[in-house]
Amino acid sequence: MKKYTTVLSLLLAMTGCTSSNQDTSEATLTEKEGYVLSKGERAVAKNHRIRFLVLHYTALDQAQSFETLTRSELVSANYLIPDRPKTYKGLLVADQLVDDHDRSWHAGVSQWKNRSNLNDTSLGIEIVNAGWDQGTGQLLGEPYNEQQIELLISLTRDLVRKYDIEPTDIVGHSDIAPGRKIDPGPFFPWKRLAEAGIGAWPDEGTIDNYLARFSVSPPSMIQVAKALQTYGYGYLDQQPERVVEAFQMRFNQENVSGIVDIRTAAILFSLIDKYHGKDKASAILLPSEVAALG
């Protein structure tokens, strides 16, 4: 009888048939057209729609960037960092082109942490910059300038605080669409952002420990792929070299080759250590699966 009563009580609660302590005081009520909305009680089972920040460069100059991102019916972004930001009352000005609660079209076909179509769950931040040439590895224009980085840090810091975004969920377009996209590129100062508390970055001491370990017994490509997937990368079954290249653009910018050297592996596992736990890294590196790099 007790079990039956408990189930019945739950069903009645779900259908609104039990008594409620809901606050219906005037302060919680909002008049709408034809009805009144009460916010006297709020559910605890929820999270923010916005889980990721995706950083891009425009590959266009300032005028072309603004025109494309505001007039095109194919692409948009929530925020634009100008090439020479204006100031207002001594503060740098970023352009908000799409409200946070609206879905901008910046990510396209994408995947991160087993989620796809990241337009649904992210904010896109475009930075005016000409980009880089993948063939030569050279910049096509000027580097990201100091004002842009200062403004980006202030903006992203505010968004991280507002939406409780994890360090590993601040990503580049190349991270979520490896091979298809190469921005914000290997000249983007990810380490500088991390030092300001924005995004992920490995600890040098942990890298050194893994370098010593891997110089004797490097991980297999299967283990590297598992670690990349654990960190958040997708598409490993389709183009693993491009995924490695995207990772290197982010964390090992001196070697953007798509080839896993021991430093790339050491950086990867140090990130797993820091953001997913040493136990997770150890589980990937089980002795039975250790083999030489392919």
Tens-digit pLDDT profile for the chain (294 aa)?
444 445 444 444 554 544 455 555 677 888 988 999 888 888 888 777 899 999 999 999 999 999 999 999 999 999 999 999 999 999 999 999 999 999 999 999 999 999 999 999 999 999 999 999 999 999 999 999 999 999 999 999 999 999 999 999 999 999 999 999 999 999 999 999 999 999 999 999 999 999 999 999 999 999 999 999 999 999 999 999 999 999 999 999 999 999 999 999 999 999 999 999 999 999 999 875 444 444
In a domain, 17, yes or no: no
In a domain, 74, yes or no: yes
Q: Do residues 179 and 259 both lie within one domain?
A: no
Q: Do residues 274 and 182 both lie within one domain?
A: no
Please give the model's pTM, rounded to 2 decimal places: 0.86
Specify the DSSP class assigned to residue 142: P
Q: Do residues 151 and 281 both lie within one domain?
A: no
Q: Do residues 112 and 244 both lie within one domain?
A: no
Beginning with the edge strand found earlier in the chain, give each strand of the sheet holding 52-57 in spatial order.
Answer: 95-96, 79-81, 122-127, 52-57, 170-172
| Helix and strand counts by DSSP (H, E) for the chain | 10, 13
Domain count, the chain: 2
**Are 25 and 41 spatial neighbours (Cβ–Cβ below 8 Å)?**
no
Residue 39, pLDDT score: 86
Q: Do residues 70 and 188 both lie within one domain?
A: yes
Q: Do residues 85 and 190 both lie within one domain?
A: yes
Q: Do residues 92 and 191 both lie within one domain?
A: yes
**Are 99 and 159 spatial neighbours (Cβ–Cβ below 8 Å)?**
no
In a domain, 15, yes or no: no
List active site positions: 126
Which range marks the domain in which residue 211 is found? 204-289
In a domain, 18, yes or no: no
In a domain, 30, yes or no: no
Q: Do residues 174 and 236 both lie within one domain?
A: no
